[in-house]
Structure 1
Amino acid sequence: MGTVLVVGGANVDVVAQSTARFTNGTSNPGHAYSSAGGVGRNIAANLGHLGVPTTLITAFGNDTFGARLYDETAAASVDLTHSVELEMPSGSYLAMLDADGELVGAVADMAAAESLRVEHVPQDVVASASYVVLDANLSADVLEHVCRTAAATGVPVVIDPVSVPKADRLARVLKAWPVHTITPTRAELVTLSGENDLEAGVAALHSLGVGRVWVREGASGSTLFGQRLSTHVPAIVAEVRNVTGAGDAMAAAYVQALVAGIDDVTAARRGAAAAYLTITSEHTVRPDLSPALIEQVLKEHE
């Protein structure tokens, strides 16, 4: 199985969940916890749990958060040889969840990831990967460098836009280099394409050379749009404990399946199963995630 290179953000998540319906503008009773997080880091850790040889290039700060992030990521069998420690605070993500586990709001400080430079991502590391996964926490220069190198060496690229504000960083990338798969929400798709209509937005990305547009719609499931066919992938009905990290698990299981030679639609269904396993867990990255567990869930919900 080939190595997957992930380049993206790492941060410590601090998550607070109310015990009753969340009320804006006041203090809400609840509980809080912290965990290692970051879109790129989470995808890499999930890939490690799924048995995929994975290299992560990210930036850790020179603080206790950075040490924690490094240790927990390495424990997931992720190669951190090319990650860097910078003289700055590590990334952090503060999220507030309603009593049902749904996100009320969040603030992300990703200055460390944005401080990665082109020279931190060696061309030979990109060229030797079977797939490259990027998140939009990176600067536009790094995103362009990686996509340019991947295109020159025939390495397929999967991109997570991360959020509506950060999706703007992908404009030049999508116009210049081919992308295997991009995984936007509906709101991110509007930012990426400039189109409010779903099908028009997808068509706009296809016209730029994006092979697959996998639109995520939370509890409504997701739809994988290829150049010719589209497939709706229903979300598996779940008793939600925490939505944080679901999309990262989804992307990781999808890429793991692609690396194993599985077709796109089946890969997306495996991604939905991984998301289900994550939101029914108290963990942002479920430590017992495995291909066998994903297969079990798919069989149980056929």
Structure 2
Amino acid sequence: MTKREAEILKWIEENPLISQNELADKANITRSSVAVHISNLIKKGKIIGKGYILKPQKNIIVIGGANVDIAGIPKGILKEEDSNPGNIKYSLGGVGRNIAENLARLSQNVELITVLGNDPNGENIKNNCRDLNINLHNSLILPHANTSTYLFILDENKDMKVAISAMDIFNNLTVDFIKNKMDFINKASICILDTNPPQETIEYIANNCSIPLFVDCVSTNKAIKIKSILNKIHTLKPNKIEAEFLSGIKITDDDSLEKVSEYFINKGIKQIFISLGKDGVYYSNGSLKGKLNPYTTKVINSTGAGDAFMAGIAYGFINEENIIDSCKFGLKASAITLTSENTINENINLDILTNFKEDTK
């Protein structure tokens, strides 16, 4: 959906009886241009039927981490135990927040449930969410806490040399806190959960979630939190190492890859997407299964590609695509992210996603 289409749709939502002439005046364009935009919105399923009957908006809840990333990048060869000339790069991150931002840029209605400190970093995240129309009304803001921060130093090859993760604030996403949110959560269309909250909170959400639950493992160390609730998960997105850890099966070839996917399907998971890095993604829902190669594109930065993939498959699911097309949306979102220096490609939108063509040069 283009920016202009989103603007017109917003005006129609506010006043379903608004005329095309009134829309033209608001947008400062011709009535015939408005008619073209409305026709496109009908084709995209945002408006159904005549009289501007709007398709009900589907809500997505994302529960998980939001933090500030601070990177130190040396100008030359990194010298340990010494002061290095270089650059400091500041960006917003957190798996849950990244997924929410990608979905918001794909014109989805998103609510992020996280915990922030009442500090400048927390304000930056709140302002960013406000600008992107990501709802934070059910998040926890702690007055005397520091917002989660991830500090890392890269070497001359842009490989991470050392890092400090200050994420204890997520321990405040307790069962008691989330318990009061479950009625609200269960009114959404899907819930996406990363593994940053405490294990007991993750288990409580899984056991009380009545809508499809999508889970991002985040890391092998945090993936252990979901081992006892695999049967409660609708869609799981592990990488190869996380899939091996959770299943106890070593992936050495296509046969063992299929065996690992069957393990998760037999546990009750409805969809499994195993990220294989440069080798693409293996997907399965029990009946449809296979491997899709990544889209060819110029890689500038690989950070955030997995978060974009989760947003892509969630977009596919909520728009009633099959698992193969959902996987393709995930791979396209990842490829678009890889072309950006930042964790989130700020240019990603529905038009770019649906019309993405891989670089075949």
In the superposition, the TM-score normalised over structure 1's length comes to 0.89
Residue 282 (str. 1) matches residue 341 (str. 2): yes
Does 2:201 match 1:147?
no
Cα 1:265–1:123, aligned 2, differ >3 Å: closer, same or farther?
same
2:215 corresponds to 1:156: no
Letter of the 1:193 counterpart: S
Structure with the higher fraction of residues in strand conformation: 1
Q: Which residue in the other structure is 2:175 paired with?
A: 118
- Partner SS, residue 270 of structure 2: strand
RMSD over aligned CA atoms reads 2.4
1:11 corresponds to 2:67: yes
Change (3 A) 1:217 1:109: farther
**Number of the residue aligned with 1:69:** 125
Indicate whether 1:271 and 2:330 are aligned. Answer: yes
**CA separation in 2, counterparts of 1:232 and 1:12?**
34
SS at match of 1:70: helix
Change (3 A) 1:15 1:232: farther
Following superposition, the deviation at residue 17 of structure 1 comes to 4.2
The corresponding residue for 1:207 is 266
Report the more deviating stretch, 120-129 or 87-96. Answer: 87-96
Identify the residue that residue 88 of structure 1 maps to in structure 2. 145
2-side partners of 1:21 and 1:226: how far apart?
A: 47
Counterpart of 1:109 (choices 159, 166, 190) is: 166
1:1-302 equivalences under 5 Å are: 1-17=57-73, 30-86=86-142, 87-97=144-154, 106-121=163-178, 122-150=181-209, 153=210, 155-174=211-230, 177-197=231-251, 198-298=257-357
Q: Judge conservation of contact 1:101–1:242 (CA < 8 Å) in 2.
A: no
Percent of aligned positions that are identical: 28
Match of 1:80, SS state, is: coil
**2:132 aligns to what SS in structure 1?**
coil
2:297 alignment partner, SS class:
coil
Deviation, structure 1 residue 258: 1.2
In the alignment, the residues of structure 1 paired with residue 86 and residue 298 of structure 2 have an alpha-carbon distance, to the nearest angstrom, of 19
Which consecutive unaligned segments of at least 5 residues does structure 1 have? none
Match of 1:231, SS state, is strand
C-alpha separation in 1, matches of 2:358 and 2:213: 30
Q: Is the 8 A contact 1:101 1:243 kept in 2?
A: no
Give, as a single letter, the amino acid of the residue that structure 2 aligns with 1:249. A
Asked if 1 retains the 8 angstrom alpha-carbon contact of 2:339 and 2:345, the reply is: no
Counterpart CA distance in 1 for 2:323 and 2:169 is 33
Question: Residue 195 of structure 1 aligns to which amino acid in structure 2?
Answer: I
Query: Higher relative contact order by CA 8 Å / sep ≥ 6: 1 or 2?
Result: 1
Q: What are structure 2's unaligned runs of at least 5 residues?
A: 1-56, 252-256
Please tell me whether the aligned partners of residues 7 and 56 of structure 1 are also in contact (alpha carbons under 8 angstroms): yes
The 10-residue stretch of structure 1 (141-150 or 34-43) with the greater mean CA deviation from structure 2: 141-150
**1:240 CA displacement:** 2.2
The 3 A distance-change label for structure 1 pair 4 and 163 is same
Residue 233 of structure 1 deviates from its aligned partner by 2.0
Are the equivalent residues in 1 in contact too, given 2:217–2:237 (CA < 8 A)? yes
**Aligned-pair CA distance for 1:108:** 2.8
- Please tell me whether the aligned partners of residues 17 and 101 of structure 1 are also in contact (alpha carbons under 8 angstroms): yes
Would the aligned equivalents of 1:223 and 1:230 in 2 still touch at CA under 8 Å? yes
| Distance apart, 1:243 and its partner CA | 1.6
Query: Residues 163 and 241 (structure 1 numbering): CA distance in 2 closer, same or farther, change over 3 Å?
Result: same
Please, what TM-score do these two structures have when normalized by structure 2?
A: 0.75
